[in-house]
Amino acid sequence: MINGGRYEGVEPPYFDPAEHPWTRTLEDNWTIIRDEMLALLAGRAEKRLAPYFANDMYFPPNAWKTLGLYFWKYRIHRNCRACPKTTAIIEGIPHLTAASLSVLEAGSNINPHQGDTNAVIRVHLPLSVPEPLPRCGFEVKGVARSWQEGKVLLFQDAYTHFAWNQTDRRRLIMILDVMRPEFADRSNEVCANVLGSIALLYLYRRLRWLNRLPGRLRRPLHWISRTLFRVVIPVQRQLGRILIR
């Protein structure tokens, strides 16, 4: 298993949905998820969709917007309450670690990039696809695919992948991460490692002086960050359900 770094595995770029029974839950309920997303986009809740935080990953600016529900097991309670039907559906999926609603605007691209770990299956559930290839599509490790509404696309997120929508309409999908069975007993470790790395990356960008610290001081920061998230996530998920209205 890798946490960060370039992945040079031998797995195929795409996984077979038939080998993962939980995909039926998504495909059987995709219209419910689509309709709830369309209702959000038609109302004031669209303001909750924010440009993806890594703004160097897409072009033009603000072309890729997301509404996060889960982020490496960190439950975003306010957004989950805005999508109650969708949340109820996805919370029945075993080993779910992340979920978001995603908008890719017309005439835009998501640049080639790699995920944070090979321990998860990345899932795309297409909700509204303007056109098939070649004008709208997705590529993993050199293999391009079209999205088909209501049909899940499973792939290895650690490989280089990218997307494009060169049509005149938005592309809407739901993105999920599901821990692979062989890593399920280490899911808290994986999620804490990724969240800790993301948090420190944010700090390094905001506080430039941290980049001048020697390695012997940076390593304890990474350990503290990972440990903090391992403690915080379970508490946040439970308390948030009670306290946030």
Residue 74 vs residue 220, higher pLDDT: 74
CATH architecture of the domain 14-183 equals Sandwich (2.60)
pLDDT at position 1 is: 64
Tell me whether residue 112 is exposed, middle or buried, using C-beta atoms within 10 angstroms of its C-beta: 0 to 12, 13 to 18, 19 or more: exposed
| Overall average pLDDT of the 99-108 stretch | 98
What is the pLDDT confidence band of residue 41, given thresholds at 50, 70 and 90? very high
**Torsion-angle region of 11 (φ positive above 0: left; ψ -120 to 50: alpha; else: beta):** beta
Q: Which residue has the higher pLDDT, 136 or 188?
A: 136
The pLDDT score that the predictor gives to residue 95 is 96
Rounded to whole angstroms, how far apart are CA atoms 166 and 53?
22
Q: Which amino acid makes up residue 238?
A: Q
- The percent of residues above 90 in pLDDT, for the chain, comes to 65
Q: What is the C-alpha separation between 123 and 15, in angstroms, rounded?
A: 10
> Bigger pLDDT: 178 or 241?
178
pLDDT tens digit sequence for 66-98: 999 999 999 999 999 999 999 999 999 999 999
pLDDT digits (tens, 9 = 90+) for 157-172: 999 999 999 999 999 9
Strands (E), 27-156: 50-51, 58-59, 64-71, 74-75, 96-104, 108-113, 120-128, 136-140, 143-145, 153-156
Which of 6-20, 99-113, 187-201, 203-217 has the weakest average pLDDT? 203-217
Domain ranges of the chain: 14-183, 186-243
Q: At what angle do helices 187-206 and 215-243 cross, to 10 degrees?
A: 110
- Write down the pLDDT at residue 245: 46
Q: What is the pLDDT of residue 159?
A: 95
Residue bearing the bigger pLDDT, 73 or 205: 73
What pLDDT does residue 45 have?
A: 63
Distance of CA 110 to the CA centre of its chain: 13
